[in-house]
Structure 1
Amino acid sequence: MAIAQGTPSMLRRFCLRFRDPQLEDAYRHDTFPRTLIHGRTAILVGMLVYLLCGLLDIWFVPPEANSGVWQSRLTAMLVPSLVLAVSFTAIFQRLAQWWLAAVCVAAGFGMIAIQSQVPLENAAYYYPAMVMVTFYTYNFIGVRFPYALGIDALLLVSYNLVFGLLLDYPGHILFSHNVFIVSANLIAGTTGYLVERQGRQLYLREQQLEKERHYHHERSLHDPLTGLPNRVLLHDRIQQALAASQRQRQLQGGLFIDLDGFKAINDRLGHQMGDLLLMQVAQRLKNSVRRVDTVARIGGDEFFVLARDLASEQDIHHLAEKLLASLRSPLAGVPETLSLRASIGVCLFPYSEMSVDDIIHRADMAMYRVKTAQKDGYCLAELEP
């Protein structure tokens, strides 16, 4: 319900543009492939219909006017031919609506030019083409509603100027033509407006639903307290590192980190302070690694760091020392009498018969050796299977 209620306010009523320029640009980009296919199809069909209308000339165009009529028809068809060719270049995307609008304008003025060369008594067989151009512009070629409205308003005014002032059509005939052309504008225009409005509302809802889906997906892969990747995402990242290490034989490292003294702090200061402490620890760990590395919280006061593409084993020693040093600094809100340290177990890979679970397990076992010994240190796991 919230999505449905929020949709109209983000869309301008008349021009049917999104109020957010970035959203408007995204919509144009995402719908361009459909506009391209739609436009090309409409151009080909329109050119075929234009040629079919030429069959009327056999009965209703005097021989002396036949050359001029066909000259007008072929001249009008040059525009869609050019636009069709341009649609296969990068120029088309930047001004797609203007290119398609040009096709509609050429079709309308071409029909006016053809009808102006037909005797008055035969005009009734040609003016319905203006009705077709109206529906073609609003509902077929893919021109947006504001453009289509402007085009058909221009054609209606031009039609009345040519046949009302220049050719002096009888009033009742011109009026009857206007009734049908205006009626076509009302029907086609309303349809075009509603279709575009509903299409944009649907796009907006799809974007909002996609954001919700992405949000829930991210939540399912990240720890809700610290925002760090959780165990599920960590497994995926290690799997990627494992595959890379097998292909390139590049050294990778996994560091299992267990906080020493966290339980005492949590019991003494409360769970709320404990949560704030874990958030500080998470930030310090993130600040200690590179962008390509991953810091994950795998539960309670246990963290895991995946160090990617190490130059040598010395890099993992340097990183372990850096992580330990970052946690030795005083933490906000924690009394000096309550210290926090860490035990770190390190597993380097690749090695034979390695797996994600085995890498984590070896690092975990190495961490326990530190924890049962001196704490506040690190130990490398044995690489023998």
Structure 2
Amino acid sequence: MKKCVRARQGRDANPPNIGLTRRGATSPMTAIAQGTPSMLRRFSLCFSDPQLERTYRCDTLPRTLIQGRTAILVGMLVYLLCGLLDIWHVPPEARWGVWQSRLTALLVPTLVLAVSFTSAFQRLAQWWLASVCVAAGFGLIAIQSQVPLENTPYYYPAMVMLTFYTYNFIGVRFTYALGIDALLLVSYNLVFGLLLDYPGHVLFSHNVFIISANLIGGTTGYLVERQGRQLYLREQELEKERRYHHDRSLHDPLTGLPNRELLYDRIQQALAASQRHRKLQGGLFIDLDGFKHINDQLGHQMGDNLLVQVARRLRRSVRKTDTVARIGGDEFFVLARDLASERDVHHLAAKLLFSLRLPLPEVPAQIAIRASIGVCLFPYPDMSVDDIIHRADMAMYRVKTTEKDGYCLAELEP
């Protein structure tokens, strides 16, 4: 089938709006340098951008899950191992009460471990992990309160271990760990200083080691979380830069349109889709008429500006599912996906021609932009990407060598 059409002049050639496809013109490198907040809040270590904070928590959730589950299992084992001390340091009449406290405290990590396999954990991960530490701390206080005073040196070191466990192992954030250990330290002093009236020098020695553990564990936890968040920021910046360079390699640097390489990939996808679903696809090869004369008359800078405006108009004339590419010089290509019938491609070609004939800003009124368009519809037997572009190109030349400012459908027979 061979069909060439001369575009009609006048307002009746204006087809209805098909859609709009836009691509941002701002430099991705500017976004890398300025768009991502790099400042962490000094104490809470939260990102100043709430969206970045949510993204970070979402991205680190899998690691938090693994670390949390591992810490819970190890913590429960250590908690039970500490029960071996009861044989020598807990009076027989108090052992049942001590084990009641220990087993009650172990109910919380058991529950949290089960919840970690549900969506409820994902929403409040830090609170669930914090509850494990709180339960362990109050359990240790309850156990130690039933141990004779002379045997407490064998039990209060567990509070020191819990301090490091909270800051450095289970995966709670620094601010949560600090709040938990402050709560446990106050509770420890209230129980053993006021209720059980421990001698001052004994309670003081316990506090020295527990507070020292908080200073060491807390500082380590703060620095590790801070460095982890800074590393995450850097990884995000590197990923943006990688995507930016990848995007640049697949797009025309002047117009921002897909280049020939990306166009080939899009047409290959359309080929596969047309073979699976038998949907009609269209390739439109567009060549500007007389652009070299315009470029020579107005200068290359104005010519570049004209190409940018042409690219913008072409994008505005197609659907979001379609692709507009610049394949060299003043040549463009439109890939129209999933057409309902051949009638759609006639409508699109007329729309593109009408859009290009409209006056362009900063271009002298006497200079008019016109185009020749060649159209190749597919699928057809033995089609390939190169053949589709070649057929559309040949159809465009038939327009170029005759009346110009029109479009022509390529032969579909092989």
TM bin, normalised by shorter chain, reads: over 0.9
1:91 match: 120
1:67 match: 96
Deviation at 1:166, TM superposition (A): 1.4
Deviation at 1:306, TM superposition (A): 0.3
How far apart in 2 are the matches of 1:337 and 1:172? 99
Q: 8 Å contact 2:37–2:49 — kept in the other structure?
A: no
Q: 8 Å contact 2:374–2:397 — kept in the other structure?
A: yes
How far apart in 2 are the matches of 1:145 and 1:319? 59
SS in structure 2 opposite 1:289?
coil
One-letter code of the match for 2:334? V
Cα deviation code 1:273-307 (max 9, x no counterpart): 11111111111111111111111111110000001
Indicate yes or no: 2:196 matched with 1:167.
yes
How far apart in 2 are the matches of 1:260 and 1:340? 7
After superposition, the Cα gap between the structure-2 partners of 1:8 and 1:107, relative to the gap in structure 1 and judged at 3 Å, is farther
SS in structure 2 opposite 1:290?
coil
How far apart in 2 are the matches of 1:6 and 1:290? 29
1:301 match: 330
Q: Which runs of 5+ in 2 are unaligned?
A: 1-29
Q: How does 1:110-129 map to 2 (within 5 A)?
A: 110-129=139-158
Q: 2:359 aligns with which of 326, 330, 346?
A: 330
2:263 match: 234
Q: How does 1:119-198 map to 2 (within 5 A)?
A: 119-198=148-227
How far apart in 2 are the matches of 1:10 and 1:237? 40
After superposition, the Cα gap between the structure-2 partners of 1:353 and 1:7, relative to the gap in structure 1 and judged at 3 Å, is closer
Deviation at 1:337, TM superposition (A): 2.6
TM-score under structure 1 normalisation? Answer: 0.97
How far apart in 1 are the matches of 2:37 and 2:148? 50
After superposition, the Cα gap between the structure-2 partners of 1:282 and 1:195, relative to the gap in structure 1 and judged at 3 Å, is same
After superposition, the Cα gap between the structure-2 partners of 1:134 and 1:8, relative to the gap in structure 1 and judged at 3 Å, is farther
Cα deviation code 1:115-170 (max 9, x no counterpart): 01000111111011001110110011001001101111111111111111211112
Q: How does 1:247-266 map to 2 (within 5 A)?
A: 247-266=276-295
Indicate yes or no: 2:86 matched with 1:37.
no
How far apart in 2 are the matches of 1:153 and 1:9? 30
After superposition, the Cα gap between the structure-2 partners of 1:7 and 1:360, relative to the gap in structure 1 and judged at 3 Å, is closer
How far apart in 1 are the matches of 2:390 and 2:38? 54
1:369 match: 398
How far apart in 1 are the matches of 2:75 and 2:119? 23
How far apart in 2 are the matches of 1:319 and 1:161? 80
Q: How does 1:277-292 map to 2 (within 5 A)?
A: 277-292=306-321
After superposition, the Cα gap between the structure-2 partners of 1:316 and 1:90, relative to the gap in structure 1 and judged at 3 Å, is same
How far apart in 2 are the matches of 1:324 and 1:72? 82
- Superposition RMSD on alpha carbons, in Å? 1.7
1:15 match: 44
How far apart in 2 are the matches of 1:285 and 1:217? 24
Which structure shows the higher helix fraction? 1
Deviation at 1:7, TM superposition (A): 9.3
SS in structure 2 opposite 1:10?
coil
SS in structure 2 opposite 1:379?
strand
2:384 match: 355
Q: 1:310 aligns with which of 329, 332, 339?
A: 339
Task: Figure out how many residues of one structure are paired with residues of the other and give that number.
Answer: 384
Q: 8 Å contact 1:36–1:87 — kept in the other structure?
A: yes
One-letter code of the match for 1:34? R
How far apart in 1 are the matches of 2:38 and 2:358? 50
Q: 8 Å contact 1:7–1:201 — kept in the other structure?
A: no
Q: 1:56 aligns with which of 67, 85, 104?
A: 85
- Aligned-residue sequence identity (percent) comes to 85
Deviation at 1:78, TM superposition (A): 1.1
One-letter code of the match for 2:67? H
Deviation at 1:338, TM superposition (A): 2.0
Task: With a CA cutoff of 8 Å and minimum separation of 6, indicate the structure with the bigger relative contact order.
Answer: 2
Q: Which moved more, 1:170-179 or 1:55-64?
A: 170-179
2:275 match: 246
Q: Which runs of 5+ in 1 are unaligned?
A: none
How far apart in 2 are the matches of 1:142 and 1:151? 13
After superposition, the Cα gap between the structure-2 partners of 1:5 and 1:166, relative to the gap in structure 1 and judged at 3 Å, is farther
SS in structure 1 opposite 2:88?
helix
One-letter code of the match for 1:372? T
How far apart in 2 are the matches of 1:21 and 1:348? 48
After superposition, the Cα gap between the structure-2 partners of 1:270 and 1:6, relative to the gap in structure 1 and judged at 3 Å, is closer
TM-score under structure 2 normalisation? Answer: 0.90
How far apart in 1 are the matches of 2:33 and 2:392? 50
